[in-house]
Chain A
């Protein structure tokens, strides 16, 4: 009985083996053609075409590492290496060239009737303090910023790599830390001068008559003429734009992703280039472009004749308020 059972086991076992082999044979024969795991697999080209970015799951705490491919950086590279330097260079050099030509043609705009010797307060000490803090920060921000754009082309060959890095590192610290007083300055400027800077009908008239800078007409203006109002709004809007985008770059990944930071840099770079060009124009008029203008922000007072020539309506207003020009502020040396 036991032997019979053992025989049966062998037979069943053999049959089972045969069955397995028989069943497997066709499957093995088919394998090379039947299974292609990549047919259903994720596909790089397709993923890139869909999102221009490939991300997945990873086990690192830094979840940004889970993005493995984002070729968008190449467009940004083009912008940074080609487009931005061109925009900034054309804006800044173009403005400089324009100012030189203008100076050669027009020269300094003189106080027509000479100085009266009587001065009137134009900017109080708070206004001047805010102006100069903002202006100083702006100049340092502009130099340290443009160093990032043009430094490696212009300065690196002259300074050598080590010195250029030390300079750029300090430039970067200056750029990052002075952004705070600059931003506060822009906010203060926007608040203390908003009153005189709302565009009105007088500006239209002033612009039509060439503003006194083009031609020799002297259209009346209030405290700020249309040109000055334009500068005000450039500072307020441009300053806000560079501050917002600058802080996005300074605090990476706070509220932005990489595409957001690329965009922030694009805006920061373009606005900065145009901003610097506009400020060159502003500096020109405030210094060599117009006699008697610098002292408004320097000492805070202007000559009565200057005020009558450039801001007739403002002078009337001030007089009406009882702020008549006084004979004070003897000038050691005339401006000429």
Chain B
């Protein structure tokens, strides 16, 4: 099985937010939650870069380690998913996540924050693939249909890559060789404990 990863080529991202919109629409993510977002660093200054970031589906995922009810599981494609039926909304995964990926529908409601929501790599949840129950809780399951995450498919400049980690790393490497520069695979060291030599 492939080891799925995300890679955002910051030298190509034009901050069009198509990935953000695609994600919100595909999964009907409720108002106030964002599974993916684009952040511009050094905005308006020389050397500014925009990066699209969501859950990176980490190797040895910190969120899964700290969850007090062990509601995370990793699929055969190394996608990190969780069960909203088991989540108690404690907020711990958010404390542990290096990418700020977990989100809560009720911020600051002391009874509960509600069930945690995050990027599923368009792979749904524990329910039957593409069942209405799965869609209601986690959104579409494109992976089960043999499709890659919509954010990356939608990316107008193909800055955001999704797919087998080895293949997208290869694509990125070729780009770097061809154009002669590359600012690196953002988040890879933190998420996958490896980086792409450029």
A residues near B (Cβ < 8 Å) are 32, 36-45, 47, 54-62, 64-74, 76-77, 80-81, 147-149, 151-152, 156, 161-162, 164-165, 168-169, 172-173, 176-177, 249-254, 258, 261-262, 265
Give 4 new A-B contacts, CB below 8 A, not counting A80-B92, A172-B90.
Answer: A152-B69, A161-B70, A161-B83, A258-B95
Select A177's contact among B108, B111, B183, beta carbons within 8 Å: B111
Known: A44-B184, A67-B100, A68-B39. A165 touches B86 (CB 8 A): yes
Complex interface residues of chain B between 57 and 96 (CB less than 8 A to chain A) = 62, 65-71, 83, 85-92, 94-96
- Chain B 17-57, CB within 8 Å of chain A: the 1/0 string? 10000000000000010100111111100111111010000
B107 contacts A by Cβ under 8 Å: yes
B135 contacts A by Cβ under 8 Å: no
Known: A253-B107, A254-B108. A261 touches B38 (CB 8 A): no
B99 contacts A by Cβ under 8 Å: yes
B98 contacts A by Cβ under 8 Å: yes
A50 to nearest B CB, angstroms? Answer: 12
B111 to nearest A CB, angstroms? Answer: 6
Q: Which residue of B lies closest to A65 (CB)?
A: B37
Q: How many residues of B contact A (CB 8 A)?
A: 58
| Cβ–Cβ contact A252 & B111, under 8 A | no
| Cβ–Cβ contact B190 & A71, under 8 A | yes
| Cβ–Cβ contact A251 & B180, under 8 A | no
Which residues of the partner chain B approach A67 to less than 8 Å between Cβ atoms?
A: 39, 100
| Cβ–Cβ contact A60 & B37, under 8 A | yes
| Cβ–Cβ contact B190 & A69, under 8 A | yes
| Cβ–Cβ contact B62 & A56, under 8 A | no
- Chain B 152-191, CB within 8 Å of chain A: the 1/0 string? 0000000000000000000000000000111110110110
B131 contacts A by Cβ under 8 Å: no
Known: A39-B181, A57-B39. A62 touches B34 (CB 8 A): yes
Which residues of the partner chain B approach A251 to less than 8 Å between Cβ atoms?
A: 108, 110
| Cβ–Cβ contact B66 & A77, under 8 A | yes
A162 to nearest B CB, angstroms? Answer: 7
A292 to nearest B CB, angstroms? Answer: 42
| Cβ–Cβ contact B47 & A40, under 8 A | yes
Alpha-carbon gap, A79 to B49, bound state (A): 34
B190 to nearest A CB, angstroms? Answer: 5
| Cβ–Cβ contact A169 & B110, under 8 A | no
